[in-house]
Amino acid sequence: MSHRLPLTYVKGLWPAELRWIKAPPGTPPKLRIQHQASRQFNRSPDANQSDTHLLSNLSPAPFHLADIPQALGSGWRHVRAMPGPSLLLGFLLALVTTSLLLIPFAVGAPALALILAGSFFLIGPLLLPPWLALRKSRDAGQRPGLSLAWHGYQEMDAGFWALAGACCFLLLVWITDAGILYAFLVGAGPSPDAGGTESAAKMGTFLRWSSLMGACLAAGVHLIAAFAVPLLYEGRAQPIPAIHASVRAMFYSPGPALVWGLTIILGLLVGFLLPPLLALILPVLAYAQFDLYRIVFPPQGHGHDR
């Protein structure tokens, strides 16, 4: 029967870099101390060099304003190349979104539609994997299909779902705070439908403060998830490095990043006002996001050549 020695601190090594091993029968227990050069033990030199190259590819390259229309054009070309699954997936999401936005009007609280519309901006990056799967299948010469698109979520590991949990937490924060703000500013007193200066003033105050709060939360999600989701999809990083790389990429090109975020917001707002267009806007934006990701984080071995 093997025994274990008490875990002791060794100068220069983290506790996570120590591992117990079982000694053969009849021999005293031994403690083997390893320095963990990568995420796994007993990595070969080639594997360690591969990890170093992988980490170097997480250094973002800048992207420019001229890259945004080019990415949108590329997204449109991908939709034309895969019209069936791209538009069908967009139509399903547009149908669900439109149905949810109609609920506040049905219950007589149209201002609540703003809360639901703002929720879409907080979970938008989580909708990328199906379109990433379609793009990947087309690049691989496969025939894209709707069933293949849903495999995008099956290919995501636990890191993506941890990021999804963070986005959902921000979604709960938005719904709770916006709901409380609505109750204090609009829910009390005369109904907004009744008209009047007081009701219009309350509605205006609610729209101003809720838009400001939603913009801050949406900007946070855009920072951490815009490039992190493709990085996680391709298995190029774990959650924390992926989020860090995404934030660095945004601050590395703040002007284009802001314009791209406003482009997404404007496109979705047009889609909310004209729901049939949402089925087209969603896949174009998703494919364009992947093209910008390829500029900022080019494939391994391609460097940062533009």
Percent of the chain at pLDDT > 90 equals 28
Q: Of 215, 217, 237, 212, which Cα lies nearest the Cα of 227?
A: 237
Residue, of 141 and 93, whose pLDDT is higher: 93
pLDDT score, position 6 = 42
Q: Of 85, 77, 94, 54, which Cα lies nearest the Cα of 147?
A: 85
To the nearest 10°, report the CA torsion of 90, 94, 96, 99: -170
Q: Share the mean pLDDT of the chain.
A: 77
pLDDT for 146 beyond 80: no
pLDDT of 95-104, one tens digit each?
A: 998 888 888 8
pLDDT for 155 beyond 90: no
Tokens of 221: 């999600």
Q: What is the 3-state secondary structure (H, E, C) of 116-130?
A: HHHHHHHHHHHHHHH
pLDDT score, position 301 = 58
Say which residue the tokens 């299909």 belong to: 145
pLDDT for 284 beyond 60: yes
Q: Of 101, 93, 161, which Cα lies nearest the Cα of 126?
A: 161
pLDDT score, position 78 = 92
Q: Within 10 Å of residue 99's Cβ, how many Cβ atoms?
A: 10
pLDDT of 32-70, one tens digit each?
A: 333 333 333 333 444 444 443 444 458 889 899 999 999
pLDDT score, position 56 = 43
**DSSP3 helix / strand / coil % (the chain, rounded to 5):** 70, 0, 30
pLDDT score, position 303 = 53
Residue, of 10 and 269, whose pLDDT is higher: 269
20 burial via Cβ count (<10 Å: 0-12, 13-18, 19+): middle
pLDDT of 2-39, one tens digit each?
A: 444 444 333 333 333 333 334 444 544 433 333 333 33
Residue, of 33 and 261, whose pLDDT is higher: 261
Q: Which of 40-49, 79-88, 224-233, 234-243 has the lowest mean pLDDT?
A: 40-49
- Give just the sign of the alpha carbon dihedral 38, 39, 45, 49: negative
Q: Which of 124-138, 202-216, 260-274 has the lowest mean pLDDT?
A: 202-216
Q: Of 40, 98, 74, which Cα lies nearest the Cα of 287?
A: 74
Tokens of 252: 């590395």
Say which residue the tokens 């031994």 belong to: 30
Residue, of 78 and 37, whose pLDDT is higher: 78
Say which residue the tokens 């999401």 belong to: 93
pLDDT score, position 9 = 36
The Cα-based distances of 252 to 22, 102, 237, 239 in angstroms read 49, 39, 19, 20
pLDDT score, position 283 = 93
Where do the domains of the chain lie? 1-44, 67-296
pLDDT score, position 177 = 86
